[in-house]
Structure 1
Amino acid sequence: MRTVIIGTRRSDLAVTQTEWVMESLQEHIPASWEMQQEKIVTRGDQILNVTLSKVGGKGLFVKEIEQALLDGRIDLAVHSMKDLPGEMPEGLTMGAVTLREDPRDCLISRTGATLNELPENAWIGTSSLRRQAQILAYRPDLRVKPVRGNLNTRFKKLMEGQFDAIVLAASGIARMGWQDRVTEIISDRVMLPAVGQGALAVQCRADDDEMLEVLQGMNHRETEMAVQAERTFLHAFEGGCHLPIAGYATVKGDRIQLRGLVADPGGQPVLSGSSEGAEGVRLGRLLSNDLMDQGARELLDSVREGIQS
């Protein structure tokens, strides 16, 4: 008999996602195994009065959970893939990538106005520089200000009138069963998603062969291929979810198409490109090199300096 301890953040969304993973795992674990959930507070959950970009960068929502894995206090960790930095600590590995939900972003507005219909100078709530950059690139007349907290907190702030609209990941809204609150799913031609958005990562220790074998049963190969290309692209910039970097790959048969973007938080410039092929790591490197040739590294260095000042 084995008791599998699964670590997760404490938010309603994180717990919902972890419960979904536990249900999926039931089909693959030996009958004698039991599963328990352990809720862990991360640094990103504790600091709510500062924008994500200024809190300290990569791994804000995963470091404490990863440490619990390394220490042996938990056996598995469930993360939103977009929260995972491009590089993983030595000793840990991605045991499974789940079937991807809708990777796009969505708009929830108080009046039911879409992104195109919002009045001039309307206030949009998001703490993501990626979303901010693309909103302002599309509609420079809008105003963006940070909104932190869980989904319930953000929705409450919207309805209280602190914002005219907020932008969230469509996948999180779907997992919470809040689809009826969505005003608009934003086209990925207007707002390219975050790397890994819509997928979940099930992380474990690299030497836990027994667990790795079990996790392969719930791994979704196409999503894994797409995410590998996206994360290779992100890793080239030493980036995390706090920087204005977007990457989205689609898979058809054995072909992967990867689109990527690096932008200034003010909306201009926006550097973008795409690559296509059969090998995700190669595609991620090709696309990152393309954007670096356009000046992406210098742009991101400037963004980092602005964050730190």
Structure 2
Amino acid sequence: MTRKLTIATRGSALALAQTGMIADELTRLTGVDVTITVVTTEGDTSRASLASIGGTGVFASALRAALVEGDCDLVVHSLKDLPTAPYPGLRLAAVPLREDPRDALCARDGLTLDALPEGARIGTGSPRRVAQLRSLRPDVAVVDIRGNVDTRLAKVSSGELDAVVLAAAGLTRLQRLDAVSEFFDLSVWPTAPGQGALALEAREEDSIPELTQIQNEGSRLSIVAERAVLAALEAGCSAPIGASSTLADGTLTLTAVVYSPDGSAELGSTQSTTLPANLSLADGEAAAYGLGSSIAAQLLDDGAAELAELGVAR
């Protein structure tokens, strides 16, 4: 009898596209029969700004509830939307190979950020992107927007906005890279911890061996390091914090930057750790988490909590 799995996801075009990719890959590699079920979250129904309704974590809560209640076997999240605090009864079961973690500018007439005129209207719903835009272009008007990728791009094509900032990964998965006028280099524009990666979450007691076929350990260690910064800073998914990591030749390097909300100041730190060959995944995660925690400690010592108005206890 063919083994069957049910995966829950949000109903947006991007969520369905990336979940469909996971389902197709699982079936191709393991022969498992995958069914996709759609769950509506508060983030999908509310038109309020993300910051006012609890940040991007509002996209995860309903999916997690469905998983706990047994309505599905797995849920697929965009990792940048997943709160760092553990959820009782659930585990991070797999992290597939990460897509491009960069942010992209989608501007009218193919303009770059530097080429946009003074007073240009740029849309984003991310406090981090707001701070970065105001840091690099304090003369532009940053407009808070919500909606799916097509909705946001339509605000540019209609002339309502001059540009929007979106994740390159989402544009790639939706085959909309044609809309990109500029990719922002991670060295000057670090993105949200976990951006570009997907998280497959399962119940702690469930064994789903098929997931080992799509697990990418390098991607998993990178996102563990980045998310450790958020956890140690006690910051939510929408805090003005960027983190970017690379794993090359056994060396994991992490850069994190904390911004003031208005983009007028920032604090950054870069550190590395060497991961010995044949290190177990658990030990690798512990080393990656330690790296992120070390950077967060340095940032806090340098005044990051006050700068970003995080309210973390010291």
Which of the five TM-score ranges fits, normalised by the shorter chain? over 0.9
Report 1:222-301 matches (<5 A).
222-278=218-274, 279-301=287-309
Q: CA deviation at 1:302?
A: 5.9
Partner residue of 2:33? 34
Contact persistence 2:100–2:169 (CA under 8 A): yes
Instruction: Classify the secondary structure of the residue corresponding to 1:62.
Output: helix
1:264–1:303 CA contact under 8 A, matched in 2: no
* Counterpart for residue 16 of structure 2: 15
Instruction: Mark the runs of 5 or more structure 2 residues left unpaired by the alignment.
Output: 275-286
1:108-187 paired onto structure 2 within 5 Å = 108-187=106-185
* Structure 2 letter corresponding to 1:35: V
Alignment pair present for 1:44 and 2:52: no
Q: Deviations over 1:73-121 (max 9, x none)?
A: 1110011111111113021111110111110000011121101100111
CA contact (8 A) 2:233 2:310 kept: no
What's the counterpart of residue 84 of structure 2? 86
The code of the aligned residue for 2:14 comes to: L
Q: Given that residues 43 and 56 in structure 2 are in contact (C-alpha distance below 8 angstroms), is that contact kept between their aligned partners in structure 1? A: no
Counterpart Cα distance in 1 of 2:164 and 2:91: 34
- Aligned counterparts of 2:108 and 2:245: Cα–Cα separation in 1: 32
Partner amino acid, structure 2, of 1:252: A
Compared CA separation, residues 302 and 27, structure 1 to 2 (3 A): closer
Query: 1:4, CA displacement in angstroms?
Result: 1.3
**Matched residue, 2:283:** none
Aligned to 2:210: 214
Partner of 1:307: none
Which whole-Å CA distance do the structure 2 matches of 1:127 and 1:64 have between them?
21
Deviation at 1:242, TM superposition (A): 1.5
Corresponding residue of 2:277 = none
Give deviations 1:221-270, integer Å, cap 9, x for gaps: 11011011011111112222221111111001221000001111211221
Separation in 2 of the partners of 1:20 and 1:121?
Answer: 40
Looking at structure 2, the residues matched to 109 and 47 of structure 1 have their Cα atoms a distance apart, in angstroms, of 27
Q: Deviations over 1:152-181 (max 9, x none)?
A: 111112222221100000010011111111
Question: What is the DSSP-based 3-state SS (H/G/I as helix, E as strand, rest coil) of the residue aligned with 2:292?
Answer: helix
What is the rounded CA distance, in whole Å, between the counterparts of 2:42 and 2:233 in structure 1?
23
**Alignment size in residue pairs:** 299
State the Cα RMSD in Å: 1.5
| Superposition deviation, residue 58 in structure 1 | 5.6
Q: What secondary structure, in the 3-state scheme, does the structure 1 residue paired with 2:57 have?
A: coil
Q: Distance in 1 between matches of 2:308 and 2:72?
A: 35
The equivalent residue for 1:189 is 187
State whether residues 244 and 265 of structure 1, in contact with CA within 8 Å, keep that contact through their aligned partners in structure 2: yes
Q: CA–CA distance in 1 between the matches of 2:272 and 2:127?
A: 26
CA contact (8 A) 1:132 1:266 kept: yes
Stretch deviating more after TM superposition (110-119 or 238-247) = 238-247
Decide whether the 8 Å contact of 1:134 with 1:190 is kept in 2. Answer: no
**Long gaps (5+) in structure 1:** 305-309
| Equivalence for 1:60 | 58
TM-score by length of 2: 0.91
